[in-house]
Amino acid sequence: MSNHLPASGGNGSHGARAGDSGLRYPSNGKTIYHRPLNRTKTAELSKAAFAYLFAEMVSYAQRRVTGIQELEKRLNLQGHPIGLKLLDLLLFREPPRSQLRPLNIIALLHFIKINIWTHLFGRQADRLEKSSNPDTPDEFMIIDNEPLVNAYISVPKEMSQLNCAAFAAGIIEGVCDGAGFPARVTAHTVGDTAGGSNGSGSGGTGGTGAADGEMWPGRTVFLVKFQPEVLEREALIGNKS
Amino acid sequence: MPGANTYTQGPTFHEGGLNKLSTNDYLVLAGTFHGYVSISHLLPKTPSYANNSPKKSVHAITARLNPVKSNPDGRPLSNSSTIPGVPGGILTRPEPPSGLEVLESENFRLQCFNTLTGVKFLLFTDTTQTNVDVIIRRIYELYSDYVMKNPFYQLEMPIRCDMFDRKLLSHIREVNNR
pLDDT at B49: 42
At B105-136, the pLDDT tens digits run 888 888 888 888 878 888 888 888 888 889 99
Choosing from B34, B62, B89, the residue where a domain stops is: B89
Q: Which residues of A touch B145 (CB under 8 A)?
A: 48, 51, 152
Distance (Å) of CA B30 to CA A75, A130, B26: 39, 54, 6
- Residue range of the domain that includes A7: 2-34
Q: Is residue B83 part of a domain?
A: yes
Residue to substitute from B163, B165, B167, interface A, most A β-carbons within 10 A:
B163
Cβ neighbours of A191 in B, within 8 Å: none
Interchain CB distance below 8 Å, B145 and A152: yes
Same domain, B125 and B79: no
Least confident of A52-66, A149-163, B16-30: B16-30
B contact test, residue of A65, A72, A152, A219 with most B CBs within 10 A: A152
- In a domain? residue B78: yes
Residue A241: its pLDDT value, please?
60
Instruction: Look at phi and psi of residue A203 and say left if phi exceeds 0, alpha if psi is from -120 to 50, else beta.
Output: left
Residue B125: give its domain's CATH number.
3.30.450.70
Q: For chain A, what's the residue count? A: 241
Partners of residue B161 in chain A, C-beta under 8 Å = 154
Question: Touching check for A18 and chain B: CB below 8 Å?
Answer: no
- Please count the structural domains in chain A: 2
At A148 the pLDDT is: 92
Distance from CA of B37 to the nearest CA of A (A): 31
Q: What is the pLDDT of residue A55?
A: 94
Q: Is the pLDDT of residue A123 over 80?
A: yes
The answer to whether residue B13 is domain-embedded is: no
pLDDT in tens, B53-110: 443 333 333 333 444 444 444 444 444 444 444 555 555 665 565 677 888 888 888 8
pLDDT tens for residues A81-111? Answer: 999 999 999 998 888 887 888 888 999 999 9
Chain mean pLDDT for chain A: 81
ipTM of the complex: 0.71
Closest partner CB to A58 (pick from B151, B162, B163): B151
Q: Is residue A41 part of a domain?
A: no
Task: Clarify whether residues B120 and B57 are in a common domain.
Answer: no
**Which range of residues forms the domain containing residue B76?**
43-89
**In angstroms, what is the C-alpha Rg of chain A?**
21
Q: Answer yes or no: do B151 and A51 touch at CB < 8 A.
A: no
Q: Are A140 and A131 in contact (CB under 8 A)?
A: yes
Instruction: State yes or no: pLDDT of B174 exceeds 50.
Output: yes
DSSP letter string over A65-86? Answer: -SSHHHHHHHHHHHHHHHHHHH
| Best residue of A154, A160, A167, A216 to probe chain B, by most B CBs closer than 10 Å | A154
Residues B173, B105 share a domain: yes
Q: Are residues B152 and B84 in the same domain?
A: no
Indicate yes or no: CB of A159 within 8 angstroms of CB of B152: yes
Give Cβ neighbours of residue B39 (< 8 Å, ≥ 6 apart): none
Amino acid letter at A224? V
3-class SS of residue A151: coil
